[in-house]
Amino acid sequence: VQLQAFGGGLVQAGGSLRLSCAASRSTFSINAIGWYRQAPGEQRELVAVISSGGSTNYADSVKGRFIISRDNAKNKVFLQMNSLKPEDTAVYYCYARDVVYGEHSYEINYWGQGTLVTVSS
């Protein structure tokens, strides 16, 4: 699956941004889809992910501030980011995971290009 992320930009602390990720096939059929981020000098970390069943998982640092949602009809996933902090500054990557089930199941991970989010203090 191909992923394309949109919506990054510059925002002041306390502000909001909404990221969008367009997938090349139905998001309903994707095992999990969501967002990672990577700040300068840091490792890439999970931000939020939503499963095909609708369950969500958030990094502790964004719980209560970020909301992930999915529009299966439009093959899109969104990340609503509220109460942004300077430490949220990072390149945000759209991510998807397929699971191929069989005698030896395995995962396939997909990455979109990043979109830069900069939060000024």
Model confidence at 20, pLDDT cuts 50, 70, 90, reads: very high
What is the reported pLDDT for 26? 81
Got the DSSP string for 7-42? --EEEETT--EEEEEEESS-GGGSSEEEEEEE-TTS
Q: Chain-wide mean pLDDT for the chain?
A: 94
What single-letter amino acid sits at 13?
A
pLDDT, one tens digit per residue, over 25-82 is: 887 788 899 999 999 999 999 999 999 889 999 999 999 999 999 998 899 999 999 9
CA–centroid distance for 80 within its chain = 10
